[in-house]
Structures are given as C-alpha cells and as structure tokens.
Structure 1
Amino acid sequence: MQQRTDIFILNALKKGDKKVFEKLYSSYYQKLCSFLLSYCQDHEIIEDVVQDVFLNLWDKRREIKIQTSLNAFLYKSVYNKLMDKYRHLRLRNEMLSSYYHTAVMLAVEKEEDRPKKHIILLRQCMEGLPDKCREVFLGGKVRGLNYSEISKEFGISTKTVEGHIARAYRLLKECMDKYK
C-alpha cells in the first residue's frame, strides 16, 4: 500500500504537482527536523538542511529514482545533508583556525623582533653617549648602584650624577625617537 502511495507521489512530483509537494513538505518537515535533533542542537542548521533537501527534491524531481520508500529516502537525505554541512563547517573552521594561527604567529614573530630591535638600537644609542655620561648611566641603571655609590665610585657629587643620568635619558630618548 505504501509503495503505491510513494509511486503516486513521485509521479505527481515528476509532473510538477505543487499541491502534492506542499502536502509532502507539511507532513514531513516537522518529523525530519525532530529526527535531526538527535544529531544536532542548532535549530537554524536543522531547518536549513530540511529545506535544502526539499528544494533539491523539487529541483531534481524529474531525475529522482527512489530505490527504497519515500520515507527512507527523505530521512537518509536529511541525514546525509547534515553530515555534508558538518564536514563543510569543520573544513571552514579548520581553514579559519589555520588563518588565525598564521596571523598570530606572524604577530608573535613581529613582537619578538621588536624587543630585539629596540635593544640593538638602545645599545647603539648608548654607545653614542659621552663617555662619562655613559659610565655614570651604566653604573646607576645597569649595575643598580644608587646615586651616592656612583658619586663615591666616580668621585663626583650626587648632583653631577643626577645631571649625567638626566642627560643620558634625554640623549637616549632623542636617539631612539630619531630611529622609530
């Protein structure tokens, strides 16, 4: 009995009977959506898949040859369409992930190069400082001596130490700004 009904429906579809198609759509749409809920929780994807299957059925109604029942054909079609959609989304996500990874790696490489370039530039700028100014600056900022220790080591007043360090900062800033 079901086989005769399927044959009638398929013949009507092949002739372009829109009323039969609408009846088929309305009787199966909700069932197929419910069936796909066991595989996917995204209602939008499910609805798109079921609609795509029905559009495909209508578009290819003249060529469709169903070996099983119409019921089995529709369930198998929505399942396969959903799996195709997942494969497509997974490939797209992998591609986007790959692009993201590449962008992050490029950014990291650039960020890693930046400190190296700054250090090289800073060393060059420090070499350009006047000798006494550079020695006082290195004593305070690199070796970690305080102003009174630097003044004792170099035999100069703490005010002179402050002056050398302030001058070093100003000259280094000017030098670094020049190359930015």
Structure 2
Amino acid sequence: MNARAQLSEDIFLLSALKASEKKAFDKLFRKYYPMLCAYCHRFVDLEDAEEIVQDVMLWLWENRETLIIETSLSQYLFKMIYRRALNRIARQDVKHRADTHFFEEMHEMLQNADFYQVEELTHRINKAIAALPPSYREAFVMHRFREMSYKEIATTLEVSPKTVDYRIQQALKQLRTDLKDYLPLLLLLY
C-alpha cells in the first residue's frame, strides 16, 4: 500500500472511529497493534510493550469523540507509544533506585541487628503472611518470593491481572497493619 492510500485509509478509519464505529476501531487495532508492539519493544520488555500499546488503543477509543490529530494517525500513535515507553522506563528507574536504597538501608540495619532480633522479625513476617487470606497470600508469595509477573500469576490462577494487582495490594495493606511495629522491615517487602 503506497503512502497516499495509507493516509486515505487512516483518514477514513479516524473519521469512522470518531463516529464510534466499532468495526473501524477493530480494523485500526489489527492494523497498528503488531507494529506498535514491535516498536515499543525496542524500549521496554514485550510484556510492558503490549500493556502500553493496549493502554494507548483503549485511550484512543475512550477519547475518540474529542480526538484532534494534526499529523498522520500513524505518527500520532508512534509518538504516543514512544512517550509512554519513556515514562515507563523513567518510573522503573526511579523504582529501581528506591528499591536499591531501601535494600542498602535494610542490609545495614540487619548487619547491626543481632541474630535473635533477625530471627524474631522473620518469625513475625512469616506469621503475618500466613494470616493473609489464601487468595491474597498466594498472589503475594508468587510475586514477591517467586518473582512472577502479574501476567504470569494471572495465567496460573486463571484470573485477570487487575485481580492479581488487587490481591497483592490488599496483602500489602494487611501486612503494613500487622507489622506496623516493624515498619523499616516493611520497606524491604514493598
């Protein structure tokens, strides 16, 4: 397909999309999803790339009636993907630096703690984790100790990634409450 035909098709799809035609959105999704995922995967891992592209496509559908695109549709989508990938990288970098900082502080704290204090803390954490509702505990353990992604956990448990996120957040909330006297150690878990 030449550039002129491509542009013409995109203008038609965009017009139909603004008119809330689901078939136009489906066609647009099928047309752009693979190439946007491949492009985004240049910056982030495939799972994050797919999530970013899905979020952009959902945003496109939700904002279809007020959408103003001054460039071509493909340029617009690629710029959105690029910006969101950079934002994801920046968030991951900040989280990694914070995790490293907390780990170093916890490591230093544990170096200064005697064996019995560490044993008592470990016992309290295990007890608090065991007290979690089974579905929360299962998702929490898979994520924190088996280092499984939300998507992997969702597949294993046959639930949505949003359900996994909810369960882990609820587990963390309960652990923060149960272990409030040991807040510095909670930072290591979070």
**Which category of TM-score, normalised to the shorter sequence, fits these structures?**
0.5 to 0.7
Partner Cα distance (2:9, 2:40) in 1: 25
C-alpha separation in 1, matches of 2:27 and 2:10: 13
Q: 1:77 aligns with which of 64, 68, 80?
A: 80
Aligned residue in 1 for 2:127: none
CA distance in 2, matches of 1:6, 1:52: 20
Check if 1:15 corresponds to 2:16: no
Corresponding residue pairs, total: 112
Q: Note the alpha carbon deviations across 1:66-102, whole angstroms, 9 max, x for none.
A: 1110010111111111111111111112222222122
Indicate which of 94, 113, 132 corresponds to 1:110: 113
Residue 28 of structure 1 pairs with residue 32 of structure 2: yes
Partner AA of 1:35 in structure 2? Y
Q: Deviations over 1:130-160 (max 9, x none)?
A: xxxxxxxxxxxxxxxxxxxxxxxxxxxxxxx
Amino acid at match of 1:50: V
Task: Specify whether residues 3 and 30 from structure 1 end up closer, same or farther in structure 2 by C-alpha distance, changes over 3 A only.
Answer: closer
Percent identity reads 32
**Superposed displacement of residue 6, structure 1:** 3.4
**C-alpha distance in 2 between matches for 1:15 and 1:98:** 50
Counterpart code for 1:46: A
What letter is aligned with 2:83?
A: N
- State the Cα RMSD in Å: 2.2
Q: TM-score, normalised by structure 2?
A: 0.53
How far does residue 3 in structure 1 lie from its aligned partner after superposition?
Answer: 4.7
Amino acid at match of 1:28: Y
- Gaps of at least 5 residues in structure 2 are 118-190
Shift of 1:59: 1.3
Q: Distance in 2 between matches of 1:87 and 1:64?
A: 27
| Structure 1: unaligned runs, 5 residues or longer | 115-180
- Is the aligned partner of 1:99 residue 2:102? yes
For 1:89, the aligned partner's letter is: Q
Choose the corresponding residue for 2:92, options 86, 89, 92: 89
Equivalences for residues 134-149 of structure 1 within 5 A: none
Aligned partner of 1:146 in structure 2 is: none
Per the alignment, in what secondary structure is the counterpart of residue 70 of structure 2? Answer: coil
Give the TM-score taking structure 1 as reference length: 0.56
